[in-house]
Structure 1
Amino acid sequence: MADRTGGEPQIDGRSTRWDEHKAQRQVELVDAAVALIEEEGARFRVQRLAERVGLPRSVLYRHFKDRATLDELIRRRVVESFMRRMEPTLTFDGTIEESVRRVVGAHLDWVAQHPRLYAYMGVGEHAMGDGSLVADTKTAIALMLGERFGEVLKTLGVRQAPIRSVAVGIVGFVDTAVNQWVRDPEPEVSEEELRAMLCRSVWAVLDATLRDLGVELSPQHRVADLEKA
């Protein structure tokens, strides 16, 4: 109802409290959907979610515009979980070898711990195509890595390098390899063998790129020492 004195419209406190309640309930339902996917697999049905939370399907949908809206919120929750695992590893502490192993290991650990959530991101409309939330997330990780690589190279006197493209390629390679491994019903290598192979491959790409730029480094170099050089 408008303020009769000519001021701003008055806000009904009951409406605000209801909005907060709906937002909290939506969060709870998305959490329940994520837990359901973890337990039963990527192709979950809304009816199963309704049964899990004890609501009629029609009532559950009052909290979301449609199934696409629910799926989008689930994807965002999954990506948030993945990024919480990845972000602390992008600091490059220790040696180059340790830094590579930490980043690759964080990716593989999260996927190994949440294989059904990872599979969900590749099902149908959730697939990792251009413009998808997952594609944007991989790009964000690559850009963060590229920026960090660039900072180290500048301390070594390298001002211009295609490091962003290299970072995007590395992230894409690791993600594709892990994706194939987790989907393979009979993986050709163990998790630890995959981890070691990915670390060797990432270092091989970095080493080749550095050599092209006239820089020779050992994987045992400490990143902090390079930045002081």
Structure 2
Amino acid sequence: MLAAIATLIVDTIATGYFQRAHAKNTSAAVGYVEASDSEQAHGGHSHGVSAVIVSSFSDDGAKLIRHRVISQVLELGIIVHSVIIGMSLGASENASTIKPLVVALTFHQFFEGIGLGGCIVQARFRLKSVLMMALFFSLTLPVGVVIGIGISSAYDENSPRALIVEGLLSAAAAGILNYMALVDLLAEDFMNPRVQNNGRLQVIINISLLVGTALMSMLAVWA
């Protein structure tokens, strides 16, 4: 719960900061357009067209900012979560536990990667930023495995301290990911006018949500 609240605070502060910065740029663009309009002989017609262009630019910019904040906060939650499960895998010494865990984590990371990749595409980052985010996502689980292997000799996963630390980190990751899934991802898709105006589509996406939840719950049996 605290992690979800903290994510809400970070989400709103980051969005507000980027929107204020974008508003300054938009104001500068409006001033430039109005100055250009005053120099033209077309009068009101030109000004009206320019106002529509600036308004469209502002709306697109606000959506882009929102997508970028969502993708970055989601990346943070996935990184924390991946390191934790990587450490658990690396510290495991029982082969019968490791094999099903690897299979479960493979599917788990695959679906997380699809979700994160979709957010990154919508955010329209530069190529350098995309490569950096993809690199972090790809390396966090192996890094967690290496850390788990390194501490396995001195690490007792059943000790009170280890259970407390693992529980706190898992709860933090769960809070971040649950908030992102419900508030920033599912809510936006489910409240989309295209979905709201199509009863059949609403049924399909709700069934898809329940099926996906069931499948991920089945993976949790092994993970």
- TM-score, normalised to structure 2, is 0.31
The higher relative CO (CA closer than 8 Å, separation ≥ 6) is in: 2
Q: Which has the higher helix share?
A: 2
- TM-score, normalised to structure 1, is 0.30
